[in-house]
Structure 1
């Protein structure tokens, strides 16, 4: 049983189209855009600029808004399908291309694109269907595209094991190629070898594999080197020549891993040029050799200089990042040390004194009526609650914010606590809660303090029954919206100067280079919308 051999499949790129149909499409699009300026023209502009994300968006928008009989609909379907292919959205591309009629002026553009999709998905029979339709209209194709069509038909037949048809098409390709370059020769020998080898015609196949391997060694294209070495490894393994097979496998892996440096690649390119010159002008070989050698040295020096400069720049950038990170860690450590100091002061000092006072008051013999005794017990309970609150604050201060809980949980906990105090219902929406954990720790602290101050203002002034908090992230901006149905207020410069809560919020927003929008009015509730730039943790 033959093992799988490597075949160089020339996938038809999305640019390999009949020139005539491409020109017709361009002329139609230009004609439409000379008369109007809309989403169609934006999509076409981005298509020509090869900005396929924008082209995809605007062509989709245009297709949604235009009527069914719009004259540029097929152009839009093609350029959106083209953009979808470039974004690897092959299913969407298929949908767009099938909207183009088989009698359209762009029918071969459609067929080339469909063939590309089927080849990429290894649906060879479907690819053949489109390639054969192109073959029937070869008069509309240039020589180069006729050759590619015939070649890929042959490759499809190899993959579906119809070797006689594959051989016929490879021979047909040879008849239309008058002057072959090295790549054509290597490819032709390799593909004929594959056909014969899969039919167990080793006497014909193995010499062709060897010839393609030897030619590939002299050629610069790494694909040929890799595939020809792989084929020889398979052949020798099947012939039980395991030592030779191992050598070929090692060479295959060398090319596959692409370990060669730039000066070696340049040297191989120069050798290819020398071979070409030797074939055409043998008498000038000696003079050109010296000239090329000098040129190679200059390029080598330039490449080494660029490489060294790049290494120095990289080292500088890494050093800067290291210093920045060390400063950040140092700042965090100092903050945590200060938090720990305050925590100890609260726990060992104030909390101890309060406990001593409560303990001493507990032993007092209070006499009086029931009301006085109840009041006495009430104050003891209040002191105990104050101790618990101080203990909780001390614990939180002694634990870095990031380790207390995840950020989303901290926000939810804040809302739960305040809702019980102020008797309001709350709604928390954080669609990207996972991404929220990736922002910088210092920014988390500021966002939390802003939210804490805003909720405090609601509890203190708004008398709200409904509070909604929404936090979302888009690219490099964090959006936070805090909304309540409370009493509201009149917001102006005078209120800004007097309201400490609002001043604190605005001050924090300015410190983190954010923006704040306030919508409020008497008995209209309040909406605070924050736009805050952020960076992910490095």
Structure 2
């Protein structure tokens, strides 16, 4: 299916069901045209996750169709689209794809983009893909001859893959680590990593792997292990293992692998001093690779054949085949094998040994310089990337400070404006208050109200509940008890008493209204003498029950200097306590006493000779709890002493200096 270049009204969902990348049956040029047509459709679509995903697939198809330039362009485009919507996962993946597109043509650029992808995956906590980027960086370093740095990057990758289930990636990391350590002449450790790769292959078999893929992995690892056996001089181990790999099935299905195994077996036998059929094996391997392999494989086989002729002292044929190998190595730019062929030619070709020696020295020096520059180049990429990030952090910090200071200044200016406005409004309010204030009493009440609101703004609901329980409920209870007592009597004196309690109900009604509107609770203090108010409260209890109440007060105590909020709480505590005596104590006598101590303390005690109770076993009711809370709110001391049959004593002690 081909698509035109003009705009289309296809939606993302329609594209998802219409576009297909299943076109492996097409030859390279037709496939490229097909991919171009898909690109023309995608570029007129809106930027969303579905479209970006198609761009990634398109880049992959271009890559496998060996069109790295178009793969790179598509990856750069999807990077731009991901940045537009701040899609960090898409940006990381785009960096990864760009690195792959540069991989075989511009290794320093590939390294740079793999590094960018690695840092983004780290921020995203995607440690599996981060490890993949570390592997890709290590791969670039390995093929540039930076084996030490390659080892470091692979070690990091394996660290992040400790808990990963991606056995293919772990296999690749272990294989590259083994090959890297081989180049560093650490053969035993290299052998260990190749064995680890085989262990990863066993785990892949458990989770499911294609037979052909399994065979390729196994043979590749086996060849790597046998190369190490050869380097360690353990040729018999290499021969035994390679012979076990050769089979007719391998030759039919995977001729290239078969040729490599056959050539390696011939090389191990040659090194072990067994020259039987070695040349035939090399020749067969070379013939197969000419039809099925690549030039690198052919190069290695020609060098091995040259070494074989050298062991057979057939100098003429050895020189000819090594010259062919040298020409091929130069054409495919394989520096290591150019050096190997020059070294062998220098040994064999006595006439031209000086020429080969100079070529070897010049190339070796050139390779050392290139590797040193490459080492510096990749270190510089890491440094410059880190420096740019540090600069960005500094800029971010500076911007943060600028924003913080700007915000602080704006906030300060706003506070000044608010304060000035508040000051103006306060002055206006004070002026209105002074105008409306008729006398000092009203002004005092307003100030007290303001103070109570400030002190009680977080506990207002709790205080209203206590007021209802300790004040209104107690007074209603007292009125109800008295009306019940006088209900059956018709004397004129009793009728007058009823009128007093009806008037008291009106006072209670007014107090409820006052509390419900959150006004000042100073209705208790309308009397000029707080002492008379307390005396009246205690004397009223004599009428409601059988208990005889007496009230004793220190005549030197000046109630006028004590704040009203404290007097209210004192009143409520006495009211609740005397009511409890009437209701529950069954006492004959009760004494309410308030006295001023020499040490500046105010002591209030309420003592009855009633039935008492067990303080430890009986749970404290809401009345006692309210009294305790009121005392605590005044920073006072509250204590109850009682025993069954011995009455009850309640003591409340306040510091007079705190009450004034």
TM tier, smaller:
0.3 to 0.5
Higher relative contact order (CA 8 A, sep 6+): 1
Larger Rg: 2
Q: TM-score, normalised by structure 2?
A: 0.30
Using the size of structure 1 for normalisation, the TM-score is: 0.36
